[in-house]
Structure 1
């Protein structure tokens, strides 16, 4: 296998623990540096990994021992960190979204191409057995020609559980940019790229109340729309209807349903790696669960980085920067369509990512 790939991590907040647990002990990677605005936190994490060094953010981005920067900062900092890493000749793997604006996302991809380095981006949940088993069923013709999809995410808002939820309600946040990457990425894997969008959105209230942690009871302003609906026209002709909301309470809808000429698939939550895929065939009488047939078994956050590092000329990265940019443009176009009251044609497109065969947990 050769020497392990050297990874430096910027941002050691809540999501970092899942990545650290996935990468710990993997022979293909070695965590060599960590950085966070909280130096004490960085020192504590570095102590968990032999040979890892706690650094400043600027120092890590310039560190010649780092080959790939794992960018786990808040969305507003994604572009700055990615561009800094690229300027230092580093590859970048970022938490979603790629950036908060399409222009910043495009700048990341263009800078990486000019520098000859790679970019990949979460969500990597689409590589798990949930989305991938549904993908395999579609590819096998189980629903016939795909005609449409429904994707629904309804919650009362993250301030109920997150101790510092401010960024969810500022530009770059909201239900669409926060949770939409999971749903739109899954739809791209299932049905291919998006050609155009129509959107509509609303805002239930102008402030939220933090429900947990030391700031419990504090009121924070809401600067973005918190209920967004959209119609996505895919290049292949299928039409997806997407709803993301921080204003509802609950829903009985399947997270994603794919409808075809001869059947329907109920697809599990794309925010998770696994879950039951169910099929209802034309002329049938009930839903039938499908056994997992594709995807990383037992996948966890960070599997996308491992998949990216294993990519080569024969098999491109499945969570590529180009796919993330296309998803970002789709999301931003929905918000723009809502504001302008018109259909928006996208300027980017991508090939449908390569499917994942069924990969047992002890083989990734």
Structure 2
């Protein structure tokens, strides 16, 4: 298929892996980067052999660029997506799709009106770890899934991230930072969500940065930092999810487990692409580790962009879709709303469960 020229807006910490992997997929041609910090954009362009460094206006005005990868901070995700769509470009955005449900709906509605595609991270469910887990479930190895648990237990990011403030602003917190990985993986494995019940709390009103560059500065915490709740999936299974920045002594809870009528499946960390994947069946005393399906085990952020580019060229659906991302966005707010209102939250959106990757597909090719 013809290559698709793409441009990246936002040259922060995560941009490097996107730039590296854009060069690996034959369908992608990384043409330009842009950032409000022009020096940072120039440094990233030099490091990853990107030919053009533009302003945001210039990258949006380039008629040869068909797709924008939006790697800005969450607070402006929707604004940048809307601007890209207005110029007639497809857009792929880092998670979350937007800060609010209203913003997310606006992005999807504009894309539909213009006949453009919206894609959104996380794309880690393309990895061999989640894909192997999906095959085991679809093959009936653990029987009919009846329940699942998912835990993201952390002490927060101020001890390592150079600019951690946005993690504690609206649109941040453990649910909006890491929840997309867990919720997207659960939807891939079990399908869309029907109902949510949640409770939230906050251990500290302020946090002190201990990473370098801003060491000693104080952050105001404006969002819950511990979010726990229940999910009922449309197919009937019940899930338990905790995301937290308030676990200061560590945790041994597993990232994800799925419980079926025949056994239990241990799913790897959904923030990674690899394994291990294990299961234990009824009556067995030991866990069986499963060889991972051939595919993506290393950090392959950007694969969702490539999949969307193939979708644009062929007309097939893309897997890391805007509809999936909006369903996850609504679910994240549902935990907060349920806690605030002390009631169950019925999901208003649904989505298609992403298609499994075909087995033995050549690496860096997604033309199916």
Match of 1:346 in 2: 347
**Paired residues for 1:196-345 under 5 Å:** 196-248=195-247, 249-293=249-293, 295-311=295-311, 315-345=316-346
Match of 1:191 in 2: 190
Cα distance, 1:297 vs. partner? 4.3
Distance 1:297 1:247 in 2: 30
8 Å Cα contact 1:296-1:361 kept in structure 2:
no
Match of 1:132 in 2: 131
Distance 1:250 1:202 in 2: 18
Match of 1:59 in 2: 58
| Structure 1 residues 225-277: Cα deviation after superposition (integer angstroms, max 9, x where no partner) | 10000101100000110000000032211100000000100101000011100
Distance 1:314 1:297 in 2: 27
RMSD between aligned alpha carbons? 1.6
Aligned-partner SS, 1:276: coil
| Structure 1 residues 50-88: Cα deviation after superposition (integer angstroms, max 9, x where no partner) | 672211112212221210000000111100000000000
Cα distance, 1:363 vs. partner? 4.6
Aligned-partner SS, 2:158: helix
Q: May I ask how many residue pairs the two structures share in their alignment?
A: 363
Match of 1:182 in 2: 181
Structure 1 residues 255 and 80: CA distance shift in structure 2, 3 A: same
Match of 1:160 in 2: 159
Aligned-partner SS, 1:160: coil
Match of 2:108 in 1: 109
Answer with 143-152 or 40-49: which moved more. Answer: 40-49
Match of 1:75 in 2: 74
Stretches of structure 2 that go unaligned for 5 or more consecutive residues are: none
Structure 1 residues 30 and 363: CA distance shift in structure 2, 3 A: closer
Answer with 42-51 or 255-264: which moved more. Answer: 42-51
Stretches of structure 1 that go unaligned for 5 or more consecutive residues are: none
8 Å Cα contact 2:154-2:246 kept in structure 1:
yes
Match of 2:31 in 1: 32
**Paired residues for 1:145-156 under 5 Å:** 145-156=144-155
Answer with 278-287 or 349-358: which moved more. Answer: 349-358
Distance 1:49 1:228 in 2: 38
Aligned-partner SS, 2:307: helix
Cα distance, 1:43 vs. partner? 2.1
Answer with 22-31 or 249-258: which moved more. Answer: 22-31
Cα distance, 1:49 vs. partner? 5.8
Cα distance, 1:206 vs. partner? 0.6
Match of 1:90 in 2: 89
Distance 1:98 1:325 in 2: 7
Structure 1 residues 33 and 327: CA distance shift in structure 2, 3 A: same
If the length of structure 1 is used for normalisation, what is the TM-score?
0.96
Cα distance, 1:314 vs. partner? 7.0
Cα distance, 1:44 vs. partner? 2.6
Aligned-partner SS, 1:231: strand
| Structure 1 residues 103-140: Cα deviation after superposition (integer angstroms, max 9, x where no partner) | 10111011000011111111011110111111100000
8 Å Cα contact 1:22-1:301 kept in structure 2:
yes
